[in-house]
Structure 1
Amino acid sequence: MSRPGLDADPLTLGAGWFNALFEEIGIDAEVKDLTAKSIGTGQIGENVRFVFDYNRKGSNAPDTLVGKFPSGSEASLMTAKLLGHYEREVHFYRTFPKVAGIITPKAFYTDYEPETNRFALIMEDMAPSEQGDQLRGCTVEEAEKALASAAVLHAAHWNDPALDTYAWLQGSDLAPPPALSPEQVVGLWYGFKDRYGERLSAEDIEVGDAYAAALPAWSDGYEGPHALTHNDFRLDNMLFGKGSAPRPLAIVDWQTAGKGAPAGDVAYFIGAGLTRDDRPKHEQALLRYYHACLQDQGVTDYAFEDLYRHYRWFSFYGMSVAFGAAMLVKQTERGDEMFLTMLRRHAAQARDNGALELLP
């Protein structure tokens, strides 16, 4: 088999390649022809939908599949290599069956070449699911679906020492130090402030400056449970099921998966996913909903009071994701608006929950 994304343009993949793949993975079908079309506006990877026309179609043959491949942007390619994004996403799908295919699309094929940092991921098509909209925000019902999935993710490897055996998993004992030091992340904040300062309020800048000043100590200050975490757990990485969609919710974009704090995913999602008007109205109820879901998944030794304290601590996390990504990936008009919206929402989240008093 040829290796799409490694030695070929994925838009040129033909029937022969998929026939070889289907034979290898046990799908009873003979592809006559197919169409390939780019979808989405990925910042780190490019996505392609493949629609098949069959000479013979067995019962397990998919009408469509989606492939994810390296970005066409040189800046995004360099960021993905620096941060290990492509290698990590492929290994995630290969390593964690309690999560992959349960709250994610099913992966049919994965490939990664360390020498070139090229990769390919062929997976189940979630159509007609609808992607969450980071700018619009979400409903309480959608938030509950996301937090129920977060509980499945976190409970699957709650305080699991096996997470420390994977060198490619960020935050593990064997993982190399982060590609960006806390001091470099602080520098990204000041670059962000220089670029977007006229579009930020004085209150947002105040929170950002306070967080930047404390960030090196903050990075090492968490004391609490660890689990398998997504670390970019937000609406744009969620596909909400509609109509005949395979799942009520599928979480995608696992290139940032790591061993981390469960409350980090939760604070990041609630802070960025709900509007500034809606979050204060529903925040506590959603936290209690997530806590109940964790207990349903078998995690019974994590008090709600501890969850809320950790939630406050990680209300700052989304700010660093927003300003860091804005300065490291391909700049687009929607990207600018998304990162600014996220930063404003997380700054308000930190202020509303008195998180500034926790900063070291």
Structure 2
Amino acid sequence: MNRPGLDGNPLELTPGWFNDLFETIGIDAEVKGLTAKAIGTGQIGENVRFVFDYARKGEGAPDTLVGKFPSGSEASLATAQMLGHYKREVMFYRTFPKVAGKITPGAFYTDYDEATNRFALIMEDMAPSEQGDQLKGCSVAEAELALASAAILHAAYWQDESLDQHDWLQGTDAAPPPALTPEQVAGLWAGFKERYKAQLTSDVIEVGDLYASSLPRWSEAHEGPFALTHNDFRLDNMLFGKPGAPKPIALVDWQTAAKGAPANDVAYFIGAGLTREERPKHEKSLLRYYHDRLTEAGVTSYSFSDLYDDYRWFSFYGMSVAFGAAMLVKQTERGDEMFLTMLRRHAAQARDNDALVLLT
């Protein structure tokens, strides 16, 4: 097999390549034609849907597949290489069968080339699932689906020291130091403020300034349970099932997977996933829902009180994702709107939960 995304344009993949793939993985089928179409608006990677026309279609042969490949943006490529995004996503699918395929699309093929930082991921197509909309926000029912998946993810490797074996997984004992220091992240906030100053209100700037000045201590001071975490656990990375979809929800974009604090995913999702008006109405009940699912999955050593304390602490995390990503990936109109919306929602989340006192 040649290596799509590594040695050619994925939009030009041939029936022969997929026939080789199906033979390799044990699917009895012969593709005679296909169409390939770019989908989505990924900031770090490009996605393509492949629709097959078969000469022979055996059991298990998919009507469609989705491939993920490197970004066409030089800025995004540089960011992905600096932060290890492409290698990490491929290795996640190869390493964690307790969650990969269960709360994610199934992976048919993964490839990564260390020398060139090129990658390819061929996945189950989740159509007719619909991608969550970070700007619109989600319903309580959708939030519960997401948080139930978070509980599955976190419980699978709760306090599991085997995570430290993986040098490609962020936050492990074997991993190199983060590519960006807390001081550098704080510098991104300064650049963000300058670029978007006309769109930032004084209350948001106050929270951002306090958080940025506290980043060195904030990033080191927290103590609590660890697990396998997503670290970009937000609506745009979730596919919600519609009638006929393979799963009720599937989580994608595992480029930031880490050994981290479970409450980080939860605070990040709730803070940006619900609108400013809806979050305060449902915040505590959603936290209870997640905690109940975590307990059902066998995690009994983490009290709700501890969860809420950690939730307050990590209410700031989404701000650094918003202003950091805005300054590091290709700039788009929707990206600007999304990052500003996330930033505002997380600033309000921190204020509403009296989290600013944790930074002083």
| d(CA) in 2 for partners of 1:140, 1:129 | 18
Runs of 4+ aligned residues of structure 1 deviating over 2 Å after TM superposition are: none
Residue of structure 1 in register with 2:347 after alignment: 347
TM-score, with structure 1 as normaliser: 1.00
Deviation, structure 1 residue 42: 0.5
Residue of structure 1 in register with 2:270 after alignment: 270
Structure 1 SS opposite 2:66: strand
Residue of structure 2 in register with 1:34 after alignment: 34
Residues 1:182 and 2:182 are matched in the alignment: yes
| d(CA) in 2 for partners of 1:173, 1:359 | 26
Q: How does 1:210-249 map to 2 (within 5 A)?
A: 210-249=210-249
Q: How does 1:1-360 map to 2 (within 5 A)?
A: 1-359=1-359
Deviation, structure 1 residue 59: 1.5
Q: Which runs of 5+ in 2 are unaligned?
A: none
| d(CA) in 1 for partners of 2:8, 2:98 | 32
Structure 1 SS opposite 2:196: helix
| d(CA) in 1 for partners of 2:112, 2:140 | 38
Deviation, structure 1 residue 34: 0.4
Structure 2 SS opposite 1:250: strand
CA RMSD of aligned residues (A): 0.4
Structure 2 SS opposite 1:20: helix
Q: Which amino acid aligns with 2:268?
A: Y
* Overall identity of the aligned pairs, in %: 78
TM-score, with structure 2 as normaliser: 1.00
| d(CA) in 1 for partners of 2:343, 2:33 | 45
| d(CA) in 2 for partners of 1:300, 1:197 | 45
| d(CA) in 2 for partners of 1:315, 1:198 | 24
| d(CA) in 1 for partners of 2:307, 2:266 | 10
Count the aligned residue pairs. Answer: 360
Q: Which amino acid aligns with 1:60?
A: G
| d(CA) in 2 for partners of 1:60, 1:281 | 45
Give a deviation string over 1:203-247, Cα, whole Å, max 9, x none. 000000000111100000111000000000000000000010000
Structure 1 SS opposite 2:321: helix
Q: Which runs of 5+ in 1 are unaligned?
A: none
